[in-house]
Structure 1
């Protein structure tokens, strides 16, 4: 795994040597510079194949954000949406390039450790808190899906309307699921075996995409939760929305668009998982891992584009931020999709909770030995917090919007650019060099993205326009 560069003669600074070594192949583990601790990028030799690494990173990218992409298209138009989605995919790939370059310079494999190397202890705290915020948002989105879909599934089996039984109350059901299923799994000390659920999650989302394409024949005149074949009354056009006809819009700009771009950003966040996957990659190199990232992002772009396009062309402007809720309760195929998605998100919540607890323990109790009371207390507090958020936040769109406007630009744009500017030696790339100017512009773009999106969302909430689309 060691590649020696005969041109390394000590003329460059230590950081510059590391930068050169990464571009030549991989970090060496022998003959370090005098007085320098040997750089080790990996704790063990990676054995994961290229294909399996693509599968793992695709699972890290894929999430509940896919359910909101048709809503995003409804408020941007087909062409504008696809352009924005492509731009975010390309920017996400460039962001991973920055992370891999920084990792090659300093030889570490964790997002928080890059933060510490770039900005000291404050950087580690900021990176850990942003990751915690993003994972809390992901947990909230998963529980919101349970809240909205589980009553429909149970009501279908019992042939009851969701409003007719206390046991069909969504808020009560998420508390029950959290206590009876999620909490016991989250209390386990090691959740490694739950990694198998990542394959289940991706399979469920593929099933969801196939079902959306198959149900494309549904009439756009259909109202909420009713298919054309089930409706016995004359079709009624949606009473709310931008487009009241069955005509697809190509370009739309409205106040709701500032929810939709964060939804797209939220759907591409995978950056905290990139470096761990890099360490496990067989024959690791920066170019090989960048190829893994590009293939994964490209595959998810195609999946997202198809889901959004067919979902939007099915329901047009009446589509909701949680698209599954648009389909009939009585449709057997959609019932199977709901069950699959519910199973996937329920089993994924403990996996998402685990890194939050680990980050909090490292920040608050870095020198403390493992303690079961603390282990349990953190899990219980996190679940209580997330349940409260899901109960009182009116729609999943708000969760996607807020998290996509804060943690997503931080993880994709701001932090990688800051890491690059601080870690890559100025002797190799001066601040006036093109790569660092690009990184600086990239970070500024992320700050503008965050400020504008949050500003418009706050404005919508303050003026009462957040419900203009009926969600």
Structure 2
């Protein structure tokens, strides 16, 4: 018989074993409830994939070359889709549909605790990108400038110039109500808005390529360089800075903490349908990433900033469209926070309560606890990414590469020479390489200083 709980975890009895693996649906929140639509789920997954890290991809292209970047991006997106494929295969084989429960199935209770702690560390805020505290810190730092940029007169001492005040307000007014929603499927509407904002960013990057001349001007009359070779795009680039680009790209498709919660609430949640959701989300994210990175690079070439919008601020000061894009990116980041909050809260509840019936009391308490924690981190610990960067790079690598491969090898009964088992081993090797490279990049950054 099927057994459901409010967190979406599914267990099966002897009746389940008689159901074909390819047609086993996962039920969420009751058999009669209609789940989230295909596109609502796809928008949620795209929102989990794309974040402020999109601003650094042009810099990554400048340090790897157009063809080099395209190959790396294609490889990373394919590996992300394949690791999701392995997770969904395990769901089909076991009837389990939560990351934490897969860890428990593979390594008993220590595995469950390990996965839950990894998700908490990843989503609360000790990694370089795509965490709640990182996004809230970005909002605190950038919102005052984004708002005052539209003011025609000089302002000073206004309440909206205080980043902490603005951060607390948007958290209470926007983030908290969305985070309190019991189902991740409800966030499909805000996720679609976030994707539209990312499309707007991409369109503006394409259009503004023809607004900034090359060689880049220092001011309206003087060029930065008379050497027009700087305006020649590079196809392949290998340098010490290339090592910095690889971790950025490797984690640009990290969405695995949200995959299974989205799977639980998908309407007609079969493995094939969820795989199509993942493929569509990763493909559209790939297209947006590639176009924005390409035209950002073709605008500034070797002078592209590590955060793309800084270049536009330098050469197109107080441009209304650029200021609108900055605000759009902030809104996209704002709508991403509740989505990242969902798996973090679920992991906390799995650690504290296990798989029990839904309770509004514990749901609300865990929601307030997580949001309060990340808000305090964003306000009082601005250097948390430097302090815990090593831990963050490790958790990202584990969630994206290591855990899917390791769990598949542990749970699946397929021989090691089978295609999926070989792919699982390959994922683990890639995870080890990327993890070591990320640690080296962080250590070198510490040694070199700001």
Conserved? CA contact 2:48–2:336, under 8 Å = no
Rounded Cα–Cα distance in structure 1 between residues aligned with 2:398 and 2:287: 24
Larger radius of gyration: 1
Conserved? CA contact 1:65–1:267, under 8 Å = yes
Would the alpha carbon gap of residues 449 and 19 (structure 1) be closer, same or farther in structure 2, given more than 3 Å must change? farther
Gaps of 5+ in 2: 3-12
Conserved? CA contact 1:191–1:351, under 8 Å = no
Question: What is the deviation of 1:393?
Answer: 6.2
Would the alpha carbon gap of residues 169 and 414 (structure 1) be closer, same or farther in structure 2, given more than 3 Å must change? farther
1:219-266 deviation per Cα after TM superposition (whole angstroms, max 9, x unaligned): 24336xx8xxxx32412249xxxx982221211122222221221122
Conserved? CA contact 2:27–2:269, under 8 Å = no
Match in the other structure for 2:383: 392
Rounded Cα–Cα distance in structure 1 between residues aligned with 2:309 and 2:415: 50
Which stretch of the first structure deviates more once superposed, 108-117 or 412-421? 108-117
The 5 Å alignment of 1:265-304 reads: 265-304=250-289
Residue 219 (structure 2) pairs with residue 221 (structure 1): no
Which stretch of the first structure deviates more once superposed, 445-454 or 355-364? 355-364
Would the alpha carbon gap of residues 126 and 333 (structure 1) be closer, same or farther in structure 2, given more than 3 Å must change? same
Would the alpha carbon gap of residues 88 and 364 (structure 1) be closer, same or farther in structure 2, given more than 3 Å must change? same
Question: What is the deviation of 1:144?
Answer: 4.5
1:187-236 deviation per Cα after TM superposition (whole angstroms, max 9, x unaligned): 5572356553211111100100010001011224336xx8xxxx324122
Would the alpha carbon gap of residues 353 and 294 (structure 1) be closer, same or farther in structure 2, given more than 3 Å must change? closer
Conserved? CA contact 1:58–1:297, under 8 Å = yes
Rounded Cα–Cα distance in structure 1 between residues aligned with 2:44 and 2:335: 17
TM-score, normalised with respect to structure 2: 0.81
Match in the other structure for 1:197: 190
Match in the other structure for 2:332: 344
Q: What is the RMSD of the two structures over their aligned residues, measured on CA atoms?
A: 3.5
Question: What is the deviation of 1:378?
Answer: 4.1
Residue 248 (structure 2) pairs with residue 263 (structure 1): yes
Question: What is the deviation of 1:460?
Answer: 3.7
Question: What is the deviation of 1:85?
Answer: 0.2
Conserved? CA contact 1:140–1:386, under 8 Å = yes
Question: What is the deviation of 1:134?
Answer: 2.4
Which stretch of the first structure deviates more once superposed, 136-145 or 448-457? 136-145
Residue 434 (structure 2) pairs with residue 449 (structure 1): yes
The 5 Å alignment of 1:89-108 reads: 89-108=77-96
TM-score, normalised with respect to structure 1: 0.78
Match in the other structure for 2:9: none
Matched length: 419
Match in the other structure for 1:253: 238
Rounded Cα–Cα distance in structure 2 between residues aligned with 1:221 and 1:168: 41
Gaps of 5+ in 1: 3-13, 28-39
Rounded Cα–Cα distance in structure 1 between residues aligned with 2:383 and 2:160: 14
